Amino acid sequence: MTGIYRIALKLLVNDKSKFTALLVGITFAVFLMVMMMSTFSGIIARSCAPVYNIGAKVWVMDPAVNNTNSSIPIPDYVLSMARSIPGVKYAVPLYYGGGQVKLKDGIYQAVTVVGLDDATLFGRPEMLEGKIEDIFAENAFLVVKDAEFAKLENPKIGTEFEINDNRGVVVGIAKVASSGLFGVPTLYTTYNRAITYIPTARFTTSYVLIEPKSDTDVPRIQRDIARLGYEALTRDQFVKKIASFYTYKTGIGMNILMMTTISFIVGLSISGQTFYNFIIENLEKFGAMKAIGAKGRELISMILFQAFFTAIIGYGLGVGAASSFIIFAKLRLPDYASQLTFTTMGFALVMVVIIAGVSSYIGVRKVLQIQPFDIFRG
């Protein structure tokens, strides 16, 4: 560190009240921005949970589908045609819908029912208790042990319940990569049992899951499915479509954007005003340095150093506070959906750099306007 930066650092940290106020303003702004964006990221990840949990490479669906919960049944001939497309290794049906479970105490609980292909069980979850083969037993269901597990009164293997006036038996406890968004427990069973137990429309297949022979076969599969009037999306494309829906066609995206913008404005106003006051109070010292030969670019570098030094420390404190809060909240609140990503941290860093730039610009203008004569005359 050169001498000019040592002086800048001493001027900054010696005024503990102003330095603390700057740190608090930036830290609070970063904390709010990171929390808002982490919440949004968590919501999007939860909304795409079925796509990640099932793990299919290509999903065939009605073009009107914009998220997994609004699946539109498709005719059986789509499955037959998908199996006949060159480049398709195999294609299986998937049922994805909702049901009502009546627990032993008489309480009704909404559930999501996933019906796996009877022949392959493609998309099956990882078993924690029991065997996956038990899903073929009479009235058999697997229960996913996630944040919503307790809503089914923490069932065990052998627990009985009613689902849409049909008897159900828990034959296994499973886990999946991600919990759902809407706080509904998930049951897995076979495809044929799902369409038998759950009221359906004329068509029963929610999605057709395709495993291509190679990634190069995917475009051809998509074109052939499109000729049938349906849509074939890769996993990433389906995730992007779901994220776009929740971002632009629901209130979630706009609300999060507004809160993030407010957080940025709060941080900018607090840090800008505080840094301006800091410059005003140290104006004589900057003027004296200018009088003894300090050049304008050196004074500018001092102010930029002070602003960005404070911003980086505030950024670290804000990210640390946000990540600690998210960890603590997830330990206490299983349904809490926030997740901290590198994208969120990078966006927050850009916002902090903008805050530091605007704050330093205010200070630079004031310092460059001062004349040494005015300082010594006073």
Side chain identity, residue 150: A
d(CA 372, CA 368): 11
Mean pLDDT of all residues belonging to the chain: 85
Q: What is the pLDDT of residues 92-112, one digit of tens each?
A: 999 998 888 988 888 899 999
Mean pLDDT of the region 177-181: 79
Residue of 195, 210, 190 lying closest to 78 (CA atoms): 210
Select the more confidently predicted residue: 264 or 373: 264
pLDDT of residue 103: 86
What distances in angstroms separate CA 88 from CA 78, 94, 239, 289, one per listed residue?
13, 17, 21, 75
Looking at residue 21, what is its pLDDT?
Answer: 79
Burial status of residue 156 (CB atoms within 10 A of its CB: 0-12, 13-18, 19 or more): exposed
Q: Which has more pLDDT, 338 or 362?
A: 338
Q: Which residue, among 8, 30, 7, 22, has the nearest Cα to 277 in the 3D structure?
A: 22
Q: Which residues have a Cβ under 8 Å from the Cβ of 6 and sit 6 or more positions away?
A: none
Answer yes or no: is pLDDT of 91 > 90.
yes
- What pLDDT digit, counting tens, does each position of 6-60 carry? 887 887 787 787 788 788 888 888 888 888 888 888 888 888 888 988 989 999 9
Q: Using a pLDDT cut of 70, give the percent of the chain over it.
A: 97
Tokens of 143: 């229960």
pLDDT range class, residue 285, cuts 50, 70, 90:
confident
